[in-house]
Amino acid sequence: MSRPQPRRLGRALAATLGLPALLLGSVTASAFTGTTAASNSAPAHQVVKHTRDDDRCNSIRFGATQASHSARFPRRFDLPAGFQPEGIAIDHSGTAYFGSRVDGDIYAADLRTGLGKVISQGPGTASLGMKADQRGRLFVAGAAGGNGRVIDTRSGKVLASYAFSTTTPTFVNDVILSKDAAWFTDSRQPLFYKVPLGRNGQLPSQAAIQTIPLTGDYKHDPMINNGNGISLTPDGRNLIIVQSATGFLFQVDPRTGVTKKIELGGAVMTNGDGLLLSGDTLYVVQNRLNKIAVLDLDQSGSSGRLVREIKSADFDVPTTAALFGSRLYLPNARFSTPPTPTTPYWVAAVDR
C-alpha cells in the first residue's frame, strides 16, 4: 500500500490496525463442519442445524472483490446454542472468529454460509474482545481470568498465554493491535496492559508485559464497568478507550497512560462496548441500547461529532463489531436473556 503523505500514513495505519475484517488477516478461511446455518429471515429463536462431510480447511480468496461478494452473504446466521458470544474478529478472506463467555472456546464461521466449528478449546474462563493479525494469530482478552492469549487460527494451538493481573476484581475486556504491540483493557482496574511485539511480530515472554496506570481525565469507579472497548486514534499515535458506565471516550497516551476526555459536542456513548475504527470514523457499539453510534473524529482523536446511529431488528444486545466489505458484523450477547444450554445466539450484519 502506498502511503506518501503523513496524514494518509496515520489514517492508513489506524485503519489497518483497527480493521482486521479488511486488512489484518492473511490466514486462510475455511469450509467448516457446519453446526449452524445462515439465515436472512429466520426467527430470532430458531436454530437450524446442518452437517457437512468435509472437516478440512479449504482456502477462500476474495481479494479486491470482497465488497461485492459480501453483499451476497447472509445478513444473519446462527451461532451454537448456549455459546454466549462476546468478541468478534474477521480476517481478510471472510472467516469470522467468536469467543464464548461460557468456557472461552473460539468458534470460526465462514461469512459466505454462516457454517462453522470450534477451532480452539477454551481455558474454562471467558473469551471476550479479540483481534486477528496478518500472521494468522488471534489475540484474545481473558475476562475474569485476568489474562490474554494468542491462538494460531490454523491449528487452534495456544501460541502464548499472559497473566496480566492476580488482583481481584479483574476483567480483561478488549484488545487492539498496533504496529509493535497488543493493548488490553481491564474494566475493573484503572489501567491497561501492553504486550510488546518483537521483530516480525515475535511474541514476548511474560517478563516483557507492561502494566500502565490510567491517569488524567479518566476517573475509575470500582463499582461500575469502566474501561471497555479500545481502538487507535485516526493518526495512529494514541489509543481510545470507552468507559461503559459513563459513556465517555478518552484519548490515551500509550506510553504514559495520561487520558484526555474526547469532546463529542455533548454526545455520550452510554453502554459503550466494542470500538471499531475505519479511517476517521469510529463505530461505537452501545450494547444494551441496541445501536451503533457513528462518530466522525479529528485526526488526533481529541474531538469528534455524532454523525448518525445504526439500528437493526436483529440486534439483541450486540457487543462488538468487525468490518468486512460494506458491512459491520456483530454478535448478540443477549445479556438480558437468562442463558441456558439451549439459548439461541446469532450474528447480525448491517450496512456500515
Domains of the chain by residue range:
6-41+59-351
Which tops the pLDDT comparison, 253 or 23?
253
Confidence of residue 337 (pLDDT cuts 50, 70, 90): very high
CB 21 within 8 A of CB 322: yes
How far apart are the C-alpha atoms of 253 and 273, rounded to whole Å?
Answer: 20
- pLDDT above 80 for 17: no
Q: Which residues of 183-221 are buried (b: 16+ CB within 10 A; e: fewer)?
A: bbbbbbbbbbbbbebeeeeebbeeeebbebebeeebeee
Say yes or no to pLDDT of 80 above 90.
yes
Q: What are phi and psi of 200, to 5 degrees?
A: 60, 30
Higher pLDDT, 62 or 277: 277
Q: Specify the pLDDT at position 67.
A: 54
pLDDT of residue 72: 87
Greater model confidence, 66 or 260: 260
H/E element holding 147? strand 147-152
Residue 288 in grid coordinates:
444494551
Check pLDDT > 80 for residue 31: no
Residues in Cβ contact with 297 at an 8 Å cutoff, skipping those fewer than 6 apart = 233, 234, 262, 280, 281, 282, 303, 304
pLDDT at 56 over 60: no
| 23-46 mean pLDDT | 37
Cα(first)–Cα(last) distance of the chain, in Å? Answer: 23
**Cell numbers at 229, concatenated:** 472497548
Q: What is the mean pLDDT of the chain?
A: 85
What's residue 66's pLDDT?
55
Question: pLDDT by residue (tens digit) across 194-230?
Answer: 999 999 999 999 999 999 999 999 999 988 999 999 9
pLDDT above 60 for 21: no
pLDDT-derived band of residue 36, with 50, 70 and 90 as boundaries?
A: very low
Is residue 264 within 8 A of residue 249, CB to CB? The reply is: yes
The whole-number average pLDDT for the span 44-63 is: 31
pTM for the full model?
0.82
Domain range 6-41+59-351, its CATH number among 1.10.10.10, 3.90.1260.10, 2.120.10.30, 2.102.10.10? 2.120.10.30
